[in-house]
Amino acid sequence: MAVLSPQELVEIRKKAAARVNMVPWNKFHINAALQTIEDWFSAHKADLAADIEAATSVLGYSFTGPQKKFLVAMWLFQKAGKEIL
């Protein structure tokens, strides 16, 4: 299980607080939620990489590991941009 560092948690909390006028959570709430997200992605990243590989290899193409991470980041950014707060 990957663990978010205290510095990573502070950085995310500051970004979240900047987006919300009155932050409805405390640092213990958001830390628990963020660690759960980290745990889920850590547990499923190999499956996602394999699924991307399976989907694209039939088309004769293979993304590199960094390219797959970039695609996931862009997907999350696009989804969050539409649905966040």
pLDDT, tens only, 17-66: 887 777 778 899 999 999 999 999 999 999 999 999 999 999 999 999 99
Domain coordinates of the chain in residue numbers? 6-83
Among 39, 43, 49, which residue's Cα sits nearest to residue 70? 49
Band (pLDDT 50/70/90 cuts) for residue 84 is low
Q: CA 55 to CA 63: how far, in whole Å?
A: 11
Q: Which two tokens stand for residue 5?
A: 């560092």
The per-residue pLDDT for 21 is 72
pTM as predicted: 0.78
The per-residue pLDDT for 22 is 74
